[in-house]
Amino acid sequence: MARVVVIGATGRIGRIAVRQLLARGLEVRALTRDAERARQLLGAEVEVHPGDVRRPASLAGLGKGMDAAVLALGTRSYYGKNGNAAVDGQGVAHALHALHADQVPHVVHLSAWGLERRSLFLGLFSLLLNHYFYWKERAERAVRASGIPYTIVRPVEFARRPAQGYPLLNQSQALSLARAALRGVSIEHVGATLAFCAARPDAISKTFELFDGGAAPLAEQLAAMKVDSERSRPPRTPLWGLFSP
């Protein structure tokens, strides 16, 4: 493991992931729509690849020579030209296509908590944010179908606080909505977990939620996670599906 490409590198989580990767001695390439801003934000040691996930031609060579990719893309507008459909729908698929063409051997994808939860609150939340979970699921499906070995990380609400203790990787516990929405997970934990997984073959084929409050180091928790083929589907269909477009 020597080189990692980060898509969404200038974002809240992407910037932390980049910092963590550099601290691990890895070389980083960053995709951005604004090269000048990215250089200012990320520093000279990060290689900048100007491009836009909505324009596949701009992604040529994005993954060339890379040992892993971190997909930490996001939209803050949810609607419009760079909304959910463009970014989580088409954009993620375009990025995966480019990474596959460049034979990148592992992609770590930042998704969202809630996809498998049956909750009216999450259904309404999704509806309000232009079918947020529908598009997040589309993105996850594209990751699984891409042919690239993957890890999918589903954090709860981001919290702007320093990381304390360990993050909690979760596949089975019924953690409460209040804990997810009100307490959230430190953005430092999210960025660090993405960077950690990028270098871990035992993260491949695993999907897990991410909270604060873990009781063991990441490596130990990751080893205990099941691969997707061994994980049972949620017993009840999530309610956001009722409101899907």
The contact set with ligand NAP (CB under 6 A) reads: 8-14, 31-34, 38, 52-54, 72-76, 82, 87, 91, 110, 112, 155, 157-158
DSSP, collapsed to helix, strand or coil, labels residue 213 as strand
Judged by CB, which is closer to ligand NAP: 156, or 222?
Answer: 156
Residue 41 CB, nearest distance to ligand NAP (Å)? 8
**Rounded distance between C-alpha atoms, residue 79 and residue 53, angstroms:** 16
CA separation (Å) from 4 to 114, 116, 159, 180, 216? 28, 29, 25, 30, 26
Judged by CB, which is closer to ligand NAP: 80, or 223?
Answer: 80
Residue 217 CB, nearest distance to ligand NAP (Å)? 23
The answer to whether 75 touches 116, Cβ cutoff 8 Å, is no
Residue with the shortest CB distance to ligand NAP:
11
Judged by CB, which is closer to ligand NAP: 75, or 221?
Answer: 75
Residue 53 CB, nearest distance to ligand NAP (Å)? 4
The answer to whether 94 touches 54, Cβ cutoff 8 Å, is yes
Residue 74 CB, nearest distance to ligand NAP (Å)? 3
* Pairing state between β 27-32 and 107-110: unpaired
Judged by CB, which is closer to ligand NAP: 45, or 229?
Answer: 45
Residue 200 CB, nearest distance to ligand NAP (Å)? 20
Q: Residue 141 has which token pair?
A: 């499906």
**Rounded distance between C-alpha atoms, residue 181 and residue 175, angstroms:** 11
Judged by CB, which is closer to ligand NAP: 74, or 241?
Answer: 74
Judged by CB, which is closer to ligand NAP: 123, or 155?
Answer: 155
For the chain, the distance separating the N- and C-terminal CA atoms, rounded to the nearest angstrom, is 41
Residue 39 CB, nearest distance to ligand NAP (Å)? 11
DSSP, collapsed to helix, strand or coil, labels residue 185 as strand
CA 123 to chain centre: 21
The answer to whether 6 touches 70, Cβ cutoff 8 Å, is yes
Residue 63 CB, nearest distance to ligand NAP (Å)? 14
**Rounded distance between C-alpha atoms, residue 14 and residue 70, angstroms:** 8
Judged by CB, which is closer to ligand NAP: 153, or 203?
Answer: 153
